[in-house]
Structure 1
């Protein structure tokens, strides 16, 4: 099947290829609209989880908030791995993944919002608005073919995404040995840190193009119905990444004001 790689590791050609079995005839065919509808449902799960953790922090329960965030991080990782290995289970696991991601997002958002409440009020609200604004812009650019997803573009975005993953991985490993990079802190408003954030936000946004392309191709090639849930899950992964990077970028701008 002529479906090419997405920069998003959850939306790969191999998984879509493996999904083209007799189940497509038994369960129905994947559609773009169905995928977007399911993505909307997953977003409601994220919002619900985020509200719960935000409320816990606002109620003066920092330990509970930290616990919920840890559950969200590790639980979300386990759920994501499970979905990647068993795409047909996505309809059952993806809603749980959405709630778990919401727990983490709600906690980190509440903490950052409180941290910059005076210097940059409504920071989180602006991050949410920018995230959906960027996502909508990329969807329109893709839908009207203003930006065409070519093999060369796929390769560039995939390579950039892999480079970011390696860089973040090395940063994490070094931090375990108490070797920290000051410019990576969200409280560092230096030009290097801001520049890195802008680059990562741009790459995350471009990954949305590849996700839209992968979902559309899956629908055109007749992937089974359960792949709508998988496509919605993959799109959510990119949206969450984009939001976190925009939140970090705005935090660095806020730090620069102090």
Structure 2
């Protein structure tokens, strides 16, 4: 079964894992090769070792996924903190706006979000994962999050950013625990539903952005009741995206995928965590504004 997730759909290795086939050879659990590559012989001396000239770069493991994800998330944090510091105080003492800081925050949020969006498309549809592009995405996403978080902190304050960060990691830990303890099984219909919902949310966001240029406010991503409903839907969708990520990582490790695919898994996990964080930030802001 081929994946419906665009992040993994372009990876031949992930699709081979989901169908449990690699040419004439099928993967065994833990990455061990079944005998009979080529002529079906059970003699170990006749077993194939892979594509001629191909270098064995190791296999993807849970540890390698954790390491690559940690690198990606660390880059997001570093870029976000650097952006936060460089912007400075948007609101000075006496509730006076700092126009220079406000302009820097606006510019960096647009540049960071635009760069992250383009890099996310490249990484999602690239057949061979590029660690450099995944890290570039993390840096661009960090710039956007740092600027956006600065806006929210200036407007709502009271540790709203810290609460959103802690809530994001709590959602990650809770989803992982539920996935393992309740042995959640991911079916094709669930994958299709989550990916369709993800593209639907992105499409609505782009549509709202375009309409705003003409003075039309949809309220879908505002701070009213409709915005709260959309944020809750987005948060739920982000949790579902994490479940898909866990499922693909589990299948990939069991199939013995190449170690470089750990970067693709790290990219998917980073996207899901950023998605959860932004929706949590909006929910907290809406609740405080009411």
Q: Which interval holds the TM-score relative to the shorter structure?
A: 0.7 to 0.9
Q: 1:243 to 1:85 in 2, by over 3 A?
A: same
Task: Work out whether residues 171 and 180 of structure 1, in 8 Å CA contact, stay in contact via their aligned partners in 2.
Answer: yes
Task: Work out whether residues 11 and 127 of structure 2, in 8 Å CA contact, stay in contact via their aligned partners in 1.
Answer: no
Query: In structure 2, which of residues 239, 256, 263 is the aligned counterpart of residue 205 of structure 1?
Result: 239
Instruction: Name the structure 1 match of 2:121.
Output: 81
How far residue 18 of structure 1 moved from its aligned partner, in angstroms, is: 7.5
Instruction: Name the structure 1 match of 2:171.
Output: 134
Q: Which has the higher helix share?
A: 1
Query: In structure 2, which of residues 56, 68, 75 is the aligned counterpart of residue 45 of structure 1?
Result: 75
Instruction: Name the structure 2 match of 1:17.
Output: 15
Q: Which structure carries more relative contact order (alpha carbon 8 Å, separation 6+)?
A: 1
Write the distance in 1 (CA, Å) between the matches of 2:197 and 2:103.
37
Query: In structure 1, which of residues 234, 240, 245 is the aligned counterpart of residue 274 of structure 2?
Result: 240
Q: Which runs of 4+ in 1 moved over 4 A?
A: 18-25
Instruction: Name the structure 1 match of 2:96.
Output: none
Residues 1-258 of structure 1: pairs in structure 2 closer than 5 A? 2=1, 4-6=3-5, 9-12=6-9, 15=12, 16-17=14-15, 22=51, 26-59=56-89, 61-117=101-157, 121-182=158-219, 184-186=221-223, 188=224, 190=225, 192-256=226-290
For structure 1, list consecutive stretches of 5 or more residues without a partner in the other structure.
Answer: none
For structure 2, list consecutive stretches of 5 or more residues without a partner in the other structure.
Answer: 23-49, 91-100
TM-score (normalizing by structure 1): 0.85
Write the distance in 2 (CA, Å) between the matches of 1:65 and 1:95.
22
Write the distance in 1 (CA, Å) between the matches of 2:74 and 2:265.
16
Task: Work out whether residues 24 and 225 of structure 1, in 8 Å CA contact, stay in contact via their aligned partners in 2.
Answer: no
How far residue 128 of structure 1 moved from its aligned partner, in angstroms, is: 0.5
How far residue 150 of structure 1 moved from its aligned partner, in angstroms, is: 2.6
Q: 1:140 to 1:101 in 2, by over 3 A?
A: same
Q: Residue 26 of structure 1: SS of its match in structure 2?
A: coil
Write the distance in 2 (CA, Å) between the matches of 1:53 and 1:111.
12
Q: May I ask how many residue pairs the two structures share in their alignment?
A: 247
